[in-house]
Amino acid sequence: MRPELAARLGENVPRYTSYPTAPHFHPGVDASVQKGWLEALEGGDEISLYLHIPYCDRLCWFCACHTKQTRHYEPVTAYLGSLRAEIATVAALISGKVFVRAIHFGGGSPTMLKPEDMVALGAFLRDSFDFVPNAKISIEIDPNDMGEARLDALAEIGMTRASLGVQDFDPKVQKAINREQSFLQTKVVVDGVRSRGVESVNLDLLYGLPHQTRESLCSTVAQALTLEPDRMALFGYAHVPWFKKHQTMIDEAWLPGPTERFAQSQLAARAILDKGYEAIGLDHFAKPGDALAAAACTGALHRNFQGYTEDRCETLIGVGPSSISRFRQGYLQNNPSTAEYGRMVANGGLAAVRGIAFSDDDRVRGWIIERLMCDFAFSAIDLVESFGEAGQKLLIQASSIALQDPARLLELQGDSFVVLAESRPFVRSIAAKFDKYLESGTARHSVVV
């Protein structure tokens, strides 16, 4: 690696699953704005839904999600009542106008729900919204939760993609992150969902975990590949104990340094590519026939809070505490407190407490950042044709970045600005150069690789 690239390994920048990023949301965009944006959806629009289940029956110490541990099911039952209330309110505002193309169940642990509750929730969604034929339903699965009854329930609600958290199969690493999960447990679930006709299986792996080494990570990757997942995600562990206090359970002395993290990421990625998978953006991989690979080939790849996606819907409506929605007009985020969320959605209320409305400048910068994160390039012609004068201003900035950066992370090739292959692991740093909010913000971020 060139020295100027190695020096960037310790940089802290956003992950750019949105632009502007969530730390810049503000309370001036709230539930009253949310109502107006919902009502402004146009007839015939296709939308996606995200459902947040903010509970786990154990707390993984590496996790940075909005969730809480509970050993009792009563809080979950009460929460499902609040979730149905919000769904009903949203559906009443947009009923008859839009069609649901995709649903993603995240958390927390969606598979913590009892089988009968998962089936009832799926039926409630079908009763509340109009779905396009063959709508995609993806669910995040904790293999430790699963049994035959839960597998049957997921099949009954129409799951089309199962996303399993693996992280690492090494017992020492698992103990350090409080996530003990055997390879056999994982295989049983993968086999179980496939036997029920699920068309796509995704596995999530992490590098940069405590006690993780290049050898142990490559062993995990090799085991995961024997399951022949349709997709794989290889994320860098984000150590943010100032944001998630339970991460203080992980001794920082156990964590690999920046150079070791980079080496782990590159070795693991190479092992996946050597098995015939295609690289998708920064940290995803897919079999050549997968829809995600097709989207990457045709320039139709997108990025949202769940990562890379082929979902083309402009509108993503998040329900549940902390959920983020994206509308044509901007972003909205629900109250992260489960108790406050429940009070807000009672009696027909909405739960958004902060967000941001897009300016023309936000739209063009967001487009550039998404194309960099997805394609490692963007066209100067498309930039100007799509955004006019605002695009022209950013074209000047992009030219300056390409000419003045001694590391040459971004180059002008013909009419396109291109991230060179050796610089792709640092694409978040390149995207950050187009982030006008970054220098004025006070948020802390994870390391670049």
Whether 96 shows a pLDDT value over 90: the answer reads no
CATH topology of domain 359-442: Arc Repressor Mutant, subunit A (1.10.10)
- 168, 205 contact by CB (below 8 A): yes
Phi-psi region at 197: left, alpha or beta (left = phi > 0; alpha = psi -120 to 50): left
- pLDDT of res. 1: 67
User: From 1.20.950.20, 3.40.50.1000, 1.10.260.40, 3.80.30.20, which CATH number describes the 12-319 domain?
Assistant: 3.80.30.20
Q: How confident is the model at residue 354 (pLDDT cuts 50, 70, 90)?
A: very high
Domain chopping of the chain, boundaries: 12-319, 359-442
Residue 404: the pLDDT is 87
Q: How high is the mean pLDDT of the chain?
A: 94
The pLDDT tens digits of the residues spanning 231-254 come to 999 999 998 898 888 889 999 999
Measured between alpha carbons, how far is 197 from 191 in angstroms, rounded to an integer? 10
Give the whole-number percent of the chain exceeding pLDDT 70: 97
Give yes or no on whether 12-319 and 359-442 have one common fold: no
d(CA 130, CA 384) in angstroms, rounded, equals: 37
| Per-residue pLDDT at 443 exceeds 70 | no
Q: Confidence class of residue 78 from pLDDT cuts 50, 70 and 90?
A: very high
**Those residues with Cβ within 8 angstroms of residue 36's Cβ, 6 or more apart along the chain or in another chain:** none
pLDDT band for 326, please (50, 70, 90 cuts).
Answer: very high
Nearest to 420 by CA among 432, 435, 434, 405: 405
Confidence of residue 441 (pLDDT cuts 50, 70, 90): low
**Alpha helices for 196-232 (secondary structure H):** 214-225
Banded pLDDT at 3 (limits 50, 70, 90): low
Whether residue 192 has pLDDT greater than 70: yes
64-68, 284-288, 356-360, 375-379: which range is least confident on average?
Answer: 64-68
Lowest mean pLDDT among 50-64, 98-112, 173-187: 50-64
Residue 62: pLDDT above 90?
no
Question: Do 193 and 159 contact (CB within 8 A), yes or no?
Answer: yes
Per-residue pLDDT averaged across 135-147, rounded?
A: 95
What pLDDT sits at residue 448? 65
What's residue 243's pLDDT?
82
Q: What is the rounded average pLDDT of the residues 113-119?
A: 98
In the β-sheet with 416-419, what is the strand arrangement from edge to edge?
377-379, 416-419, 410-413
pLDDT in tens, 270-298: 999 999 999 999 999 999 999 999 999 99
Look at residue 345 and tell me whether its pLDDT is greater than 90. Answer: yes
Buried-state track 11-32, b at ≥16 Cβ within 10 A, e below 16: bebbbbbbbbbbebbeeebbbe
What pLDDT score was predicted for residue 339?
96
Q: What pLDDT, on the 0 to 100 scale, is given for residue 382?
A: 97
CB 286 within 8 A of CB 34: no
pLDDT band at 408 (very low <50, low <70, confident <90, very high): confident
Calpha distance 75→338 (Å, rounded): 10
pLDDT at 411: 94
Q: How far apart are CA 408 and CA 428, in angstroms?
A: 14
pTM: 0.93
pLDDT of residue 219: 97
Query: Looking at residue 246, what is its pLDDT?
Result: 87
